[in-house]
């Protein structure tokens, strides 16, 4: 239970200032650090042991000591910047290409003695009002290369920083001593916890749209104009954002299941069991997102049905008024044919009698339509 508390404490967000970076280059110990390198260090017994060393030096130190690991963090590296690190750590070219190019679906791939994991990060975009063009969720990516003696994280996008996570792990040496798999678990847990926060925010948006749609329907049913916020454009835009969220969550189910169930050489057995918690959370988020999608389908259909009802009501009103005006039109049309022999054509009171008759007939028809709810 104490291990669970430690793991959960690590992935809860806190903010601390970043420090320490490493030098870059397979053969040089003091070459300039590229802009893509966020942080780099050697960890031994769960504590930061070496700073300001090149990737090759860091890996050599770990191999010479026979313990510890290297953790390098990068943000949107170019192919040239990443090629040196990939050569030092023997990363597979296919995985390196995916890490540089980004726009990958969540997955887990095994290459010899290393794992390549892709996570989609999700951030909820705050907005004052949901419109037909509102951006609700923003996606990014975190790629993790995990070996027996190293962890290399490659992040794409403007959010999902791992800086605070690194510091939280450094504050928990007992957990960090479990090796690279502890870092992989912490990253997965943080990403999925962010999913849970986004689902709560999306639920509020969907509830708002749902209330707008059905309160507008109720207002029309009671003879009021109702609110017009639940339009199809807003619903469709929200559905697109939910679909983007779904594409980030659904492919992650299988990788988390594999990490929690299948023994892997680079994953510590004590850490592996805690991937079950992450897998459960992913399954929960997936169910919620699928439910959001289905609910939005229902809301959209209800909105379209309401639009059809409104159109039918308008057509009924138009038809009713057309029927009312058809009577005087018909009578005036008949008397406008100018025949010599027509009923009451030369009668003194013929004209007012016809007018009164038209008014009475129109009133009777109007009263009938109003009684039936057509007007």
Tell me the pLDDT tens digit for each residue of 243-292: 999 999 999 999 999 999 888 888 988 898 889 999 999 999 999 999 99
Tokens at residue 199, please?
């689902």
pLDDT confidence of residue 289: 94
Count of beta carbons in the 10 Å neighbourhood of residue 50: 19
Asked if 164 and 15 touch (Cβ cutoff 8 Å), the reply is: yes
Which pLDDT score is estimated for 243? 92
pLDDT number for residue 365: 83
pLDDT given for residue 209 in this prediction: 87
Evaluate the CA torsion angle 83, 89, 92, 96 in order and state its sign. negative
Query: Residue 123: its pLDDT value, please?
Result: 92
**Tokens 């059905």 belong to residue:** 214
What pLDDT shows up at residue 220?
A: 53
C-alpha R_g of the chain: 35
What percent of the chain lies above the pLDDT cut of 90? Answer: 33
The predicted structure's pLDDT at residue 184: 95
Q: Where are the domains of the chain?
A: 2-307, 314-371
Query: What is the pLDDT at residue 217?
Result: 56
What pLDDT score was predicted for residue 230?
A: 47
Give the model's pLDDT for residue 153.
94
**Residue 293 to residue 282: CA distance in whole angstroms:** 16
Residues 71 and 43 sit within 8 Å (Cβ to Cβ) = yes
Give every residue of the chain whose pLDDT is below 70, as ranges. Answer: 1-35, 216-230
Q: Identify any residues that bridge with 142 across adjacent strands, giving them in sequence order.
A: 119, 155
Sheet with 137-146: list strands edge to edge.
47-50, 37-44, 69-75, 150-156, 137-146, 114-124, 107-111
Can you name the residues that pair with 114 across neighbouring β-strands?
111
Cα 318 to Cα 338: distance, rounded to the nearest angstrom: 31
CA–CA separation, 56 and 66 (whole Å): 15
Q: Which CATH superfamily is domain 314-371 in?
A: Magnesium transport protein CorA, transmembrane region (1.20.58.340)
Place of tokens 């050697």: 42
What pTM was computed for the model?
Answer: 0.75
Are 122 and 198 spatial neighbours (Cβ–Cβ below 8 Å)? Answer: yes
* Residue showing tokens 């988020």: 285
What would the pLDDT profile of 150-192 be if each residue is shown by its tens digit? 999 999 988 888 889 999 999 999 999 999 999 999 999 999 9
pLDDT for 283 equals 95
- Determine the CATH number of domain 2-307: 3.30.460.20
Query: CA-CA distance, 202 to 73, in Å (whole number)?
Result: 31
pLDDT > 70 in the chain, percent = 85
The confidence score (pLDDT) of residue 214 equals 78
What size, in residues, is the chain? 375
């Amino acid at each position: 239970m104490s291990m669970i508390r430690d793991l959960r404490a690590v992935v809860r967000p806190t903010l601390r200032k970043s420090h320490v970076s490493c030098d870059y280059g397979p053969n040089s110990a003091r070459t300039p650090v590229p802009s893509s390198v966020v942080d780099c260090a050697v960890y031994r017994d769960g504590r930061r042991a070496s700073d300001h060393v090149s990737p090759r030096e860091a890996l050599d130190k770990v191999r010479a000591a026979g313990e510890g690991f290297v953790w390098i963090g990068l943000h949107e590296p170019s192919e040239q910047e990443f090629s040196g690190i990939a050569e030092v750590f023997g990363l597979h070219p296919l995985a390196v290409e995916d890490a540089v190019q980004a726009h990958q679906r969540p997955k887990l791939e095994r290459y010899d003695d290393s794992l390549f994991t892709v996570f989609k990060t999700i951030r909820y975009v705050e907005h004052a009002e949901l419109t037909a063009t509102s951006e609700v969720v923003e996606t990014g990516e975190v790629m993790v290369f995990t070996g027996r003696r190293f962890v290399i994280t490659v992040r794409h996008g403007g959010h999902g920083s791992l800086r605070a996570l690194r510091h939280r792990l450094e504050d928990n040496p007992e957990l960090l001593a479990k090796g690279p798999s502890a870092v992989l678990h912490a990253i997965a847990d943080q990403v999925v916890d962010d999913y849970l926060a986004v689902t709560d925010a999306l639920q509020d948006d969907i509830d708002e749209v749902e209330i707008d749609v059905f309160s507008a329907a109720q207002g029309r049913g009671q003879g009021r104009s109702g609110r017009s916020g639940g339009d199809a454009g807003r619903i469709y835009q929200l559905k697109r954002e939910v679909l983007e969220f779904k594409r980030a969550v659904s492919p992650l189910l299988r990788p988390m299941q594999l990490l929690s169930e299948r023994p892997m050489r680079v994953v510590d057995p004590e850490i592996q069991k805690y991937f079950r918690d992450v897998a459960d959370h992913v399954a929960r988020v997936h169910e919620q997102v699928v439910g959001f999608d289905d609910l939005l389908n229902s809301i959209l259909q209800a909105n379209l049905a309401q639009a059809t009802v409104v159109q039918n009501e308008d057509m009924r009103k138009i038809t009713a008024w057309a029927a009312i005006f058809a009577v005087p039109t018909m009578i005036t049309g008949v008397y406008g044919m100018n025949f010599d022999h027509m009923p009451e054509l030369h009668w003194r009171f013929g004209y007012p009698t016809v007018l009164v008759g038209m008014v009475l007939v129109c009133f009777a028809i109007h009263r009938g339509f109003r009684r039936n709810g057509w007007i």
